[in-house]
Structures are given as C-alpha cells and as structure tokens.
Amino acid sequence: MTNIATGRFGPYGGRYVPETLMHALDELAHVYDAARKDPRFWAELEGLLKNYVGRPTPITAVPRLSAQVGAQVLLKREDLNHTGAHKINNTLGQVLLAQRMNKRRIIAETGAGQHGVATATVCARFGLDCVVFMGEEDMRRQRLNVYRMELMGAKVVPVTSGTRTLKDATNEALRDWVTNVTTTHYIIGSVVGPDPFPRLVRDFQSVIGREARAQMLEQVGRLPSIVVACVGGGSNAMGIFAGFLDDKSVQLVGVEAAGEGIASGKHAATLGAGRPGVFHGSMSYLLQDADGQVQPAHSVSAGLDYPGVGPEHAYLKDRARVLYEAVTDQEALDAFAALSRLEGILPALESAHAIAWVMKTRRASHELILINLSGRGDKDVAMVAELTGAKI
C-alpha cells in the first residue's frame, strides 16, 4: 500500500519537516526496513507482546449490546492490554528500533495520556530516559495519567503554547527532536507524522487486525461484515483495518469525533470536514481555515482532539475503501454509559465513539459487527462524572 521509495499513500504522506530531521528519518527508515526483514526482531517483539503486554487480546461477544443494536456485535479487547490501550503495541516496536539506533533518550507527545503512559512503560522496562510532552489543558483533564507516567520515571513537560492540547504537545516534541536528534528517538503515538512513522506505526498496530481476523474465523466461523474503529490520528483504526483491507466483503468504518456537532465548528472530524494540507510532517486531511492556518479541534475525548489525521486514512477515504463517519460528544457519552451498564465494560471515551456509531445506525440482523475497543475507560471516569454532575 505504501510507496516505500517516496513514503507516500497516493498524494498523501511524505516528509515535510525541517531539514535538520531528514537524516534521522532516513536512519529510522533504514533501520526499520532492516528490522522488518529480520526474524529476530519480530521474535523479540512477539515475545514481549505475549509475556509483557498479555497478547493476544480476546474478542468478546456482547449479547446485551447486540440485542439493543439488532445485530451480532463483538469487541476486539485492546483495553485488556497492559497499560489499558492499544498504544503499547507501537511503543514496544519503536523502543526496539531505538535500541538498534543506540538512542537512549526517548520523547513522546500525548493527548489523553495513554500514549505517554505506554511510552513511559517501555522506557522503564528498557531503562531509557523518557520525556513526555503534554498540553497543560490535557494534564488538567488527565491528572491520573500524569502521575502514572511520573511513577514510571518519565518527566512530563507541560506545554503552554497554542491550544495546550495534543497538537501543541506534538509541536513541542518535534522542537525537542530537532534539538536533540542525535541522541533521541521520537516515539510518535499514531499513524501520523513524516514517513516512515505512518507505515511503521501501522505495521506495529496491525497485530490487532491479524489477530482479530484469525479469531473471527476460528471462533465465529466467518469474517465480520463490518469493522468499526474510532479515528483521531488513526492508529487503532489502521491497526484493525490492516487485517481486513484485502477482504472486499468487509466494510470498514472509521468514526471521528463530531464534538458539539460539525455545524458548531467545535469538532475533530478531520476527514469529514477538513481538506488536504501539510501538518506535522505529512500531507493529509487537516482542519484549517481559508488561509491555511490550523484550526483547533474539539472533542470530549482528549485522544481524538487533534486537527490532523494519518495520511493512509486520507488515501483510504479518497479511494472509498473506508467509510468515515462522526458522532458527537453526547452520543459518545451515551455509548460509554450503555456499554458499562449492558456489558460491564467501561470503554475509553475514544472507543465509545465507535460503539456510538454502531448504536445509532440502523443495523440489519444478519450483520456481524466487530468493534475495536481500543482502550479502557478508567482514565475517563472522573471526567465523565464531572460532565454528568455526579460526585465521586
């Protein structure tokens, strides 16, 4: 799917970065291309995913939700990974690449804090210095995750520029990388950024789709008719879609955050309401004004609160291989409550967007729906309580 020589997905992707970073991207691409062909690399990663992360994650039938939806629904349980989300699939892969490059300092950006936690975790495991950039506003929203990172030895740097969220944390991480590029590896948390990040993050997350496809065939006896995942930057979605892209019978649906509604202008529906541009190192869809200035995104879920999106999603949208939809904050909050009550599973607010889309669209009874439950919702409990006026 990727043109490796140019790092592009059709017109999207590429390396739009300051010249200072070009050498590091060449090096990363070179090291990754060698690692990809090295069975020892995959053996080490698979061992860690099995014994440290707890993979494979199960697929879980959810009969009470299914009854409400009117079709059979299953969840791919990425919430059961160590650290509580899919993010660690990528951070483990990248930390192994950092070791191959002899880089002992790791930086990362984080929105909700899940990627920051997953990065702090692997840095603790491998004894590496870890600095996580996080918007001041997100630190307030996700205090628990800040403390988790600090417990594991990471330094969390508050970002006070711009909107003080994920977009600005990414700017700050890139500025640090430009400054310390010779000693530092930047573990980007999603399928965004300059080549080779979108393809290597996809590859590390594609374990989700590979497992899910085999589990569906083994446990249900057929492929799902629909695979649904939430899309912020888009890594959990690319990860599960990767397993089904070649199965033409499987409809793929990416669900973005409509925030307070697309018409309100306060949303994060980059593919639904943005247009192509260059941001954070690659060409993709982007929320921007007529002058090419990046517009702040909005979502109740910090992990989706991002005005960009991975370039491969842009390509899949244009080719109409994936349908991109959006649900509002309220619909996501309702789905968060519904899954908790009906199935005893608290979804991350991010993943709740995927559930909300399935709940709100009319489904035919013969359909078999697989939803990627990308993370657990414990981190969101305080915020949901605040929003619903509950006292805890």
Partner 1 sequence: MSENAIATRWRALGKSRALIPYVTAGFPTAAVSLDAMRRVVAAGGDFVEVGVPFSDPLADGPTVQRTTQAALEQGMTVARVLDLIRQAALRVPVIIMTYLNPVLAYGVERFATDAHAAGAAGVLLTDLPAGTDPAVEQAVSGRGLDLIRLVAPTTDDRRLKTALNNATGFVYLISRLGVTGARADVPPDLDAQVQRVRAASPSSAHLPVAVGFGIGTPAQAAAAARSADGVVVGSALMDALAKGGITAMERLTRELATAVHA
Q: Which residues are catalytic?
A: 87, 109, 374
Residues 150-209, interacting with partner 1 (CB under 8 A)? 161-162, 167-168, 171, 174-175, 178-182
Q: Is 50 in the site for partner 1 (CB under 8 A)?
A: no
Half-sphere exposure of 144 (CA within 13 A, CB side): 10
| Type of residue at 300 | V
Q: Considering the complex, what minimum distance in angstroms separates the CB of residue 248 from partner 1? A: 32
The DSSP-derived string for 177-191 is HHHHTTTEEE---SS
Per rule CB under 8 A, count of chain residues that contact partner 1: 36
> In a 3-state reduction of DSSP, which class is residue 218?
helix
Which residue lies nearer to partner 1 by CB, 16 or 126?
16
Q: Is 279 in the site for partner 1 (CB under 8 A)?
A: yes
Q: Is 108 in the site for partner 1 (CB under 8 A)?
A: no
Give exposure, 120-154, as e/b (b: 16+ Cβ within 10 Å).
bbbbeebebebbbbbbbbbbebbeebbebbeebeb
Which residue lies nearer to partner 1 by CB, 171 or 251?
171
Q: Considering the complex, what minimum distance in angstroms separates the CB of residue 85 from partner 1? A: 26
- 277's enclosing H/E stretch is strand 275-279
Q: Is 294 in the site for partner 1 (CB under 8 A)?
A: yes
- Of 318, 240, 239, nearest to 283 by C-alpha is 318
Q: Is 3 in the site for partner 1 (CB under 8 A)?
A: no
Q: Considering the complex, what minimum distance in angstroms separates the CB of residue 293 from partner 1? A: 4
d(CA 41, CA 39): 5
Task: Compute the 3-state secondary structure of the chain and give helix, strand, coil in percent, each to the nearest 5.
Answer: 45, 20, 30
Which residue lies nearer to partner 1 by CB, 99 or 171?
171
Omega of the bond prior to 56 within 30 degrees of 0, cis? yes
Which residue lies nearer to partner 1 by CB, 18 or 265?
18
* Binds partner 1 by CB under 8 A, chosen from 1, 3, 4, 23: 23
- Of 213, 168, 207, 6, nearest to 89 by C-alpha is 207
Q: Considering the complex, what minimum distance in angstroms separates the CB of residue 133 from partner 1? A: 12
Q: Is 219 in the site for partner 1 (CB under 8 A)?
A: no
* Binds partner 1 by CB under 8 A, chosen from 63, 70, 265, 292: 292
Which residue lies nearer to partner 1 by CB, 17 or 229?
17
* Binds partner 1 by CB under 8 A, chosen from 1, 3, 4, 20: 20
Contact 55, 207 (CB under 8 A): yes
d(CA 184, CA 201): 18
Which residue lies nearer to partner 1 by CB, 121 or 184?
184
d(CA 49, CA 118): 13
Q: Is 16 in the site for partner 1 (CB under 8 A)?
A: yes
Which residues would be at the binding site for partner 1 (CB under 8 A)?
Answer: 14-24, 26, 161-162, 167-168, 171, 174-175, 178-182, 277-281, 286, 288, 290-294
